[in-house]
Every structure is written in structure tokens, then in C-alpha cells.
């Protein structure tokens, strides 16, 4: 969090929260606007994108952008983070979040819509889940190996992601092997999960504005 934001919080601790205005789409783009007014507009100003990224954090089950003294709750199209897997020197890899922060993945998932998800750890050690940017889907698919070390073909991946028991969280006999930029090689067994299970399984609220509205209604 920016120091100026910390100072603003201490000066004005009781600023009302903002909901339903800021969203994160499944490709890691920040979008603003009221959904009732039509599609939200993407934020393209580089300094603003960087500012939001530096002050983006979890607040219980929700994710917020701390805009000075005000908490702005973020609507999530899918997951709280969107990952990019970047190739580096000597066959190594780096995992970057949409905020630009580098991390190391700890688990790999494939949902029933053919999207890869990775869980990693934040700077303070808490687990965070994110969908892999769709541009990197082919990269991961090409790196997957079965237990015998053979590549998985497209038919196998299609069967894995869209099988009859796609609602069942399960481990598949396949894994991703990555050597990260620090030289450590990790093995990530591929697991399956239905997209609609992701928020519950990983403990986040995709639509804080709706959840807060329901909470207020139940108190009346």
C-alpha cells in the first residue's frame, strides 16, 4: 500500500465504502462504471493502473482497491488475480499477476471451460487464486506431461475439462514441471474443478456489491 494512502486512512478513517463501480475482468483489465449503464469501460491510463495495482488487497472474502481513505470493492469477472506465465533465460519461467507482482505457483487447476487456474502465495504468505491469461493457455497445455512423461494431446485435455463428472474436484494423472527464475523446479499436479465451484473452494466473493446488498436486506 502506498504511504500516501496510509496517511489518508489515518486522517479520514470513516469515509463510506464504494461498491459496484470498479471491476476486474478475466484478462486482468480494470474496468469502471455502473453495470446498469452498459459495459464497464477499461482503464487505460498507465499510472492509474499501477496505482490500483499497488493498493489492491483482500478484505475478508472481498477484494478492494484502497483509494486514499476510501475502500473500493472490486467486482470480479472470475478470480481475484489473473496470471501471466513469462519465459525467461535458460528455460526458466516467471509468474506475474495482473498487478505486476511476481510469485511462485503452488497448485494448478483446469476448469470445465478449459481455463487453467493457479494458486500462489501473496507477499504476506496468504494463498491467492488466479486464472491464467487466455494467451498463456496453449503454453501450459504444451508443457503438461502424463505420468510417463509424454505430452497430453488436445483430446485428452478436452476430455479432462468437460467430462461427465466435471463437478467433482479431482486430481488428474498429469503435471506441469516448471523451473522458476530462482532456479527451483516445481511440480504441479493438474487438478480439475468446475468454474462455478471456484469462488467457494478458494474463499472469495466475486460480487461484493450484491453480497453487501443482501447483507443489508437481511438486517432489516
- With a pLDDT cut of 90, the percent of the chain lying above it is 58
Lowest pLDDT segment from 29-38, 91-100, 127-136, 188-197? 29-38
Q: Which CATH architecture has domain 3-77?
A: Roll (3.10)
Q: What is the pLDDT of residues 31-50, one digit of tens each?
A: 999 877 778 999 999 999 99
> Average pLDDT for residues 123-137, to the nearest whole number?
88
Listed by start position, the domains of the chain span 3-77, 81-202
Contacts 24+ apart (CB under 8 A), 115-122: 115/78, 115/195, 116/140, 116/141, 117/79, 117/193, 117/198, 118/83, 118/188, 119/202, 120/81, 120/83, 120/95
Of the pLDDT bands very low, low, confident and very high (cuts 50, 70, 90), residue 134 is very high
Q: What is the pLDDT of residues 96-120, one digit of tens each?
A: 999 998 999 999 999 999 899 999 9
What is the average pLDDT score of the chain? 85
Residue 190 has pLDDT above 60, yes or no: yes
According to DSSP, the β-strands at 93-97 and 170-179 are unpaired
- With a pLDDT cut of 70, the percent of the chain lying above it is 82
Q: What is the pLDDT of residue 219?
A: 47
Amino acid at each position: 500500500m502506498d504511504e500516501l494512502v496510509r496517511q489518508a486512512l489515518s486522517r479520514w478513517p470513516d469515509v463510506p465504502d464504494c461498491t459496484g463501480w470498479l471491476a476486474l475482468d478475466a484478462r486482468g483489465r480494470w474496468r469502471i462504471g455502473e453495470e446498469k449503464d452498459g459495459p464497464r469501460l477499461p482503464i487505460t491510463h498507465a499510472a492509474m493502473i499501477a496505482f490500483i495495482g499497488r493498493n489492491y488487497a483482500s478484505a475478508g472474502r472481498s477484494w478492494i482497491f484502497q483509494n486514499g481513505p476510501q475502500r473500493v470493492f472490486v467486482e470480479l469477472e472470475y478470480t481475484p488475480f489473473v496470471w501471466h506465465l513469462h519465459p525467461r533465460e535458460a528455460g526458466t519461467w516467471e509468474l506475474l499477476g495482473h498487478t505486476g507482482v511476481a510469485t511462485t505457483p503452488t497448485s494448478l487447476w483446469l476448469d470445465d471451460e478449459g481455463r487453467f487456474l493457479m494458486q500462489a502465495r501473496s507477499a504476506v504468505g496468504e494463498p491467492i487464486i488466479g486464472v491464467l491469461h487466455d494467451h498463456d493457455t496453449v503454453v501450459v497445455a504444451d508443457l503438461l506431461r502424463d505420468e510417463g512423461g509424454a505430452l497430453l494431446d488436445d483430446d485428452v485435455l478436452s476430455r479432462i475439462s468437460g467430462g461427465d463428472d466435471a463437478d467433482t474436484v479431482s486430481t488428474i494423472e498429469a503435471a506441469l514441471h516448471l523451473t522458476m527464475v530462482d532456479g527451483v523446479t516445481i511440480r504441479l499436479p493438474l487438478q480439475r474443478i468446475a468454474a462455478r465451484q471456484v469462488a467457494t473452494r478458494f474463499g472469495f466473493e466475486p460480487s461484493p456489491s450484491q453480497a453487501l446488498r443482501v447483507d443489508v436486506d437481511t438486517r432489516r
